[in-house]
Structures are given as structure tokens and as C-alpha cells.
Amino acid sequence: MHGSGDVALAFSTTNKIPHYPQKSLIKTTLLSDFWMDPLFEMAADAAEESLLNALLAARTMKGRGGNQVYEIPIDRLKKALKIEISP
């Protein structure tokens, strides 16, 4: 196991509909949007944490043509986002 922390979760909200149905009517089951909210919230939280991890891992670097990009100091990021970040 590489331990990178990368995890993927995929799911579909569609019903299985046969390409050549045997009957003219197809029964479907629907899940209320209310029950999907926690999944969407988890996806948003995961995206936010991934972005913060990338921002905190970035280091000052010099690129092509002498262009330089600077890392964001943790204290400035905390102040800008008004959040608590433990080192």
C-alpha cells in the first residue's frame, strides 16, 4: 500500500434499464434528494480538504523563463480562510 491518502468514491443515481426490455412498463426505485445530501456534503468536504492540503504542501518554486511562484505561509492562509489548521 502506498499510503498517499488518495481515495475515490463513485456511485450512480440511475436505474438499470435494459436495452431491450421484456415488458412495456419498467418499474423504478427513487431515493429522495434528502437522503443524498450527506453524500454531497462529504464530497464537498473532501474537495475542500484536498485543496487545503495542496495549498499547504506547495513550496516556492522557479519555473520557465525565471518565473517564480511563492508558497503561501500557513498563518496567512489561516487568516484568509479564518480557520484552524493544525500542523
Q: Is residue 70 part of a domain?
A: yes
CA 75 to each of CA 18, 31, 53, 69, 85: distance values in angstroms, whole numbers, following the listed order: 56, 43, 14, 18, 9
Contact of 86 with 78, CB cutoff 8 Å? no
Q: How many residues are recorded in the chain?
A: 87
Please tell me the predicted confidence (pLDDT) of residue 60: 94
Q: Is residue 26 part of a domain?
A: no
Structural domain that includes position 72: 33-81
Q: Is residue 37 part of a domain?
A: yes
User: In the chain, what is the greatest distance between 2 CA atoms, to the nearest angstrom?
Assistant: 67
Q: What is the pTM of this model?
A: 0.53
Q: Is residue 27 part of a domain?
A: no
Domain count, the chain: 1
Per-residue pLDDT of the chain (87 residues; tens, 9 = 90+): 455 666 666 777 777 788 888 878 888 887 787 888 888 888 889 888 888 888 888 899 999 999 999 998 888 888 888 876 666
